[in-house]
A and B are shown apart, each in its own frame.
Chain A
């Protein structure tokens, strides 16, 4: 199952890499590491989906541009496939892996079906730990609430760790509009912030960028040498630029991976330790928590922690699994519990189990369409398979094309550590979107015509005969014109002399 060397992108090869770092005889090959000298003309980074207000996102168009940048596409596909392989290796090391998945799924389903009780239990216990607990119905309420807390403390700058919930809320843009400086402390997220781009992946937010893209962003924003794309140089430069901001920040913010109802505490998992900096350096710590992050008891955490990083990055555990239990002496801790469409989703019979998601990104890493499209092609907070089933719940019109960006291959459901039936929900969303008239008119006409033809045997036979003749006799330029989506990038099938049907008539005609 090892990838042969000729399939690897040059950036992932160790053989001729003078800059590679070794420890105990092993090359350090973190997903975002490994470095080589810059080539003369780096391939420019393809940008994400074009967003025009509420118009449906054209994922296929953005994906085609990503594929048209072969260096990026190849690196992206191979880097994420590498994560998938590492995940498989970890999985094989755990005999009870499939049981763990079932257990994690059952805990989440139980919690989601008793969510009101567990949320109130969590709130009461957190309050008795000395934490201030707030409730936000939607993104706007969340942003205003956090702004209010910061204003009360006279805070002008905020360091924060990675949080998909704050991406959902458009938090950075809001903070910019009220004059508060936000500094992302996750390296990948900081790269994306400096490039004014959304994260393209829930765990590795800048995975679609080559080193040369990062060198370009940093040279433009923090003054690094534009000709130097050495990973260690760039990381160190970022560290030097950001540390003073972290030390001087007025407030810190984190997301949350798991909130434990029985203890009123919460857990944040990172690999860079940046959540701990964000939470512990300033006196004020605010945590934004989606209401689906609750688990009933501390012992349940063991199930999820064993699954999370193995599924996400193929590592046994995240470098840091930090438990936050209350404010430090002299400090203050606030939690904002955010709904933002979750209660509504909980009421959708076919789609509520998408709330089990623990944001590991395994479905993205395994998705052959995502790996070749880049996360920004989805034009939404959540990309990849989980995005296809979450995004339409927030806006079925704008994200109406997304559930079609899938071959329904089902690999996503199999890697999901909480056993969300992702591909079945993608299929169900297609039906739902047709029902809601959110599918292009031309497609509807096409499908209606197909349905009529395929339900009338005689008409169907006549059409097939005509199609055979057409394929056999039309000149090549007619078959491969720009309107024929089959033939643009692949050859059309060679038409046989006769269909099975006519062969049967000719050879077994006496039967029946």
Chain B
């Protein structure tokens, strides 16, 4: 299986360790992973702000970079969801469709496609609170959203349950948005940061040592909020834990 590794712009710039963990984990599971060097971004920042025309060249570049793989895998549900669901700023040629549909987020890939049963190398003896990016939760379907009357499941929790030593804690508002929201975080920064303070405080009250998520963008915002209010809570991406990080 030939996998194209999609490392979103903010992971590249601010959380390279998440990209490295994803690459190593996929290789550890025996797959050929290629990182197309000319990749930049999926175009979500422009498109989410309503600027479709301004996003077309970036999207065309994305398609050029990721053509011809069996799967395109990214450690970011938000970007994957954008590529799969909202990537309509460019003409939907056969090539575009062939790139969109096999673009998957790491947890989905491990849980639904590879169906990984064990992570014998992983051990994380800490209390963790799961954070779900809203697009990852409600559109990619990582977990049953709290609003719906449907049987409960949680893909990230299923995977993390296979890691030795881990203990889950649940905040009072388990899937409340943290306030990042892409460009919302700067255009509406007071509301955004208030939501962030509330979110990290809720996790801290529940007893979490770490906030764990499949999306680094939310965590980057939450970390900034936690540091500002002096909350000693730590952040780690699910890829790092599954790849064997111990702290």
Residues of A within 8 A of B (CB): 1-4, 6-7, 59-60, 63-64, 67, 73, 77, 81, 88, 91-92, 94-95, 97-98, 366, 368-369, 372-373, 403-411, 413-415, 427, 429-434, 439, 443-444, 447-448, 450-455, 457, 460, 464, 467-468, 485-496, 498-501, 503-505, 508, 511-512
Contact = CB atoms under 8 A, between A and B. Distances in A.
Contacts of B193: 488-490
Interface in B31-54: 34-35, 37-41, 43, 45-46, 48-52, 54
A290 B161 CA distance: 52
B191 A60 contact: yes
Nearest to A457: B38
A451 B181 contact: no
B169 interface: no
B150 interface: yes
Nearest to B56: A451
A486 B185 contact: yes
Contacts, number: 224
Nearest to A404: B187
B19 interface: yes
B115 interface: no
Contact of A448 (B54, B174, B181): B54
A142 B184 CA distance: 38
A464 B224 CA distance: 20
Contacts of B180: 407
B184 A486 contact: no
Contacts of B19: 500, 503-504
A220 B221 CA distance: 44
Contacts of B179: 368, 407
B186 A451 contact: no
A409 B51 contact: no
Contacts of A369: 188, 191, 195
B139 interface: yes
B16 A496 contact: yes
B51 A434 contact: yes
Contacts of A411: 134, 138, 145, 147, 175, 177
Contact of A98 (B15, B37, B150, B186): B150
Interface in B158-216: 172-177, 179-182, 184-196, 198, 202, 205
Contacts of A433: 50
Given A411-B134, A447-B54, 10 more contacts: A4-B205, A408-B184, A409-B138, A410-B138, A411-B145, A450-B45, A454-B40, A500-B12, A501-B7, A504-B37
B190 A67 contact: yes
A495 B139 CA distance: 31
Nearest to A490: B224
B172 A4 contact: yes
B99 to A, nearest CB: 16
Contacts of B51: 434, 444, 447-448, 451
Contacts of B34: 511-512
B13 interface: yes
Given A407-B134, A499-B12, A491 B48 contact: no
Interface centre among A366, A467, A490, A504 (most CB of B within 10 A): A490
B9 interface: yes
A491 B191 contact: no
A369 B134 CA distance: 14
Nearest to A74: B198
